[in-house]
Amino acid sequence: MDESRFTRRTVWLEADGRTVGILDQTRLPFETVDVRLTSLSDAETAIRDMLVRGAPLIGAVGAYGMALALAEDPSDAMIATAYDRLFATRPTAINLRWALDDLRERVAPLPEAARADAAYARAREISDEDVAINRAIGENAFRLIEARYEAIGRSRPVEILTHCNAGFLATVGWGTALAGIFLAHARGIPVHVWVDETRPRSQGAYLTAWEMRWAGVPHTVIADNAGGHLMQHGRVDMCIVGTDRVAANGDVCNKIGTYLKALAAHDNGVPFYVALPYPTIDWRIADGVRDIPIEERSATEVTVVRGRLPDGGIADVTVIEDSPAANPAFDVTPGRLVTGLITERGVCAASAEGLRGLYPERAAAE
């Protein structure tokens, strides 16, 4: 298998060693457009306006954003300014804070002349580590899919439901929730993926479906409200989703609508898995439902939809007029509704004990 297909750079460093390249995900699936980031402001805009999105990818671009800032001005004041401006772009995905904390800790002790190079080098390390971690998550998820295939007597494809986009577009490579699906398909285990469209930004319909077509994985896009019905009628063998922050008690924050899928899965005895790399764990939050900050995005994301016109052009169309709209971008699923957390180290219960068992050194350090 040509694994490079799944490590398409969603973020990369240009040959000049300073300019940062990204795939503009606001244009997918209608157009494939690369954008060059050359300043702190460019990185801020890219994250805030979701040209890049997905917790691990936001973390990697945040790291490059710090490097871009220090290339402009390597002062202590710029470290603080860049940290605050990048941190403020999106409040929920913990990977952004994790990356900014990491960069600040590494560059602050250095002489100003060494800071930019060190920041670029660390941003590259974070990016490369993300690809490796997600590949490991994929292997652990693959084993769950393979076991499910055996459990159904290898009689038909494994039916997997996913929400939003947690594929390679949400990371630097491989993805989290989708990594195991890519591996199962490539290794000849038949799978079919129910792709929640995931309103209002439609990351499922626009991005996950694009990845499924890219990888040749059989899939069907469904309205967000269809998943419960499919589970009720035995059409789903397992759910696998990504996450933007997992609290120390195992509560899972993910795209709005995830909690409703978890409730339907629990009610119908469908295993509900969440895939995540270690930077997505927030050891400082004891109760995710209570304490994870939920991003409120613009109501226009609900009232305006991007699509292709009959003449082939792309346009944003207002589909809701003259009424107020609300747009909480995430919700939190209690760990009791999660069958297991799939990490690079293995699968554990969505609980404080489960997480401490996989990451004893990190739990102790916080």
Ligand X SMILES: CSC[C@H]1O[C@H](OP(=O)(O)O)[C@H](O)[C@@H]1O
Q: Give the C-alpha separation, 123 to 65, whole Å.
A: 9
Radius of gyration of the chain (CA): 20
| 167 or 354: CB nearest ligand X | 167
Does 176 bind ligand X (CB under 6 A)? Our answer is yes
Q: Give the C-alpha separation, 361 to 251, whole Å.
A: 20
Among 79, 166, 184, 302, binds ligand X (CB under 6 A): 166
Segment contacting ligand X by CB under 6 A, of 12-20, 64-72, 158-166, 352-360: 158-166
Among 11, 46, 51, 53, binds ligand X (CB under 6 A): 53
| 118 or 337: CB nearest ligand X | 337
| 241 or 281: CB nearest ligand X | 241
Could you tell me which residues come within 8 angstroms of residue 6 by beta carbon, excluding any fewer than 6 positions away?
168, 173, 174, 175, 179, 182, 215
Q: Is 166 annotated as a binding residue?
A: no
Cβ-contact 338, 239 below 8 angstroms: no
Segment contacting ligand X by CB under 6 A, of 139-147, 162-170, 180-188, 345-353: 162-170
Segment contacting ligand X by CB under 6 A, of 26-34, 214-222, 240-248, 303-311: 240-248
Of 327, 319, 314, 318, the closest CA to residue 26 belongs to: 314
Among 7, 127, 171, 202, binds ligand X (CB under 6 A): 171
Q: Is 90 annotated as a binding residue?
A: yes
- Residues carrying an active site annotation: 244
Does 246 bind ligand X (CB under 6 A)? Our answer is no
Cβ-contact 251, 292 below 8 angstroms: yes
Does 135 bind ligand X (CB under 6 A)? Our answer is no
Q: Give the C-alpha separation, 351 to 82, whole Å.
A: 34
Among 138, 180, 242, 340, binds ligand X (CB under 6 A): 242
Q: How far apart are the first and last CA of the chain?
A: 40
Quote the Cα angle for 100-342-184, to 5°: 115
Which string of DSSP letters, residue by residue, matches 276-344? --GGGEETT-S-HHHHSPPPB--THHHHEEEEE-TTS-EEEEE-S-SS----B-EEEE-GGG-SEEEET
| 64 or 149: CB nearest ligand X | 64
Query: Could you tell me which residues are annotated as the binding site?
Result: 53-55, 90, 203, 254-255
Give the footprint of ligand X on this chain (CB under 6 A): 53-56, 164-166, 170-171, 176, 203, 241-242, 244, 254-255, 329
Query: Could you tell me which residues are annotated as the binding site for substrate?
Result: 53-55, 90, 203, 254-255
